[in-house]
Amino acid sequence: MTDIVSAEKRSQMMSGIRSKNTLPEMIVRRALHARGYRYRIHVKDLPGKPDLVFPRYRSVLFIHGCFWHGHDCPLFKMPMTRTDFWEKKINRNRENDANARAALNSMGWRVMEVWECELRASKKSGYLPVVDGVTQWLSCALQE
């Protein structure tokens, strides 16, 4: 199946996709801030530049898009064009995620990932299941 837009237009569209301050990230950030959690964002000193860093809890949170990180869910579908390019890119992203997680764990940080599909599934309930899960996970850090 061929693409319905030109290669130049597709390139322009793909380059416009942000890696920071995405909608899923903003949803989680706002909800956690409203619950009183304070965090730093995109800390360059830590492996993988985590989306949210909770120094008090020695915990980091990654908020992943299902397509870009190759999540095994219905939102991820390998593109039909330039398959080799996309397989390499997504596998490299998966590998980078695993390396960042391992490095953070070895530095004593707890790591959690929130997936785009989890947020979409919890949209009708105001994202409560996801936010409740994150807050519960964070509160466990203080008990350790």
Among 53, 73, 71, 75, smallest CA distance to 62 is for 53
Q: What is the pLDDT of residue 11?
A: 67
Q: What is the pLDDT of residue 13?
A: 65
| Domain locations along the chain | 18-143
State the Cα–Cα distance between residues 41 and 57, nearest whole angstrom.
Answer: 14
Instruction: Report, at the CATH architecture level, how domain 18-143 is classified.
Output: 3-Layer(aba) Sandwich (3.40)
pLDDT per residue as tens, the chain (144 positions) = 566 777 777 667 666 666 677 889 999 999 999 999 999 999 999 999 999 999 999 999 999 999 989 999 988 888 888 899 999 999 999 999 999 999 999 999 999 999 999 999 998 888 999 999 999 999 987 776
pTM: 0.84
State the Cα–Cα distance between residues 35 and 74, nearest whole angstrom.
Answer: 31
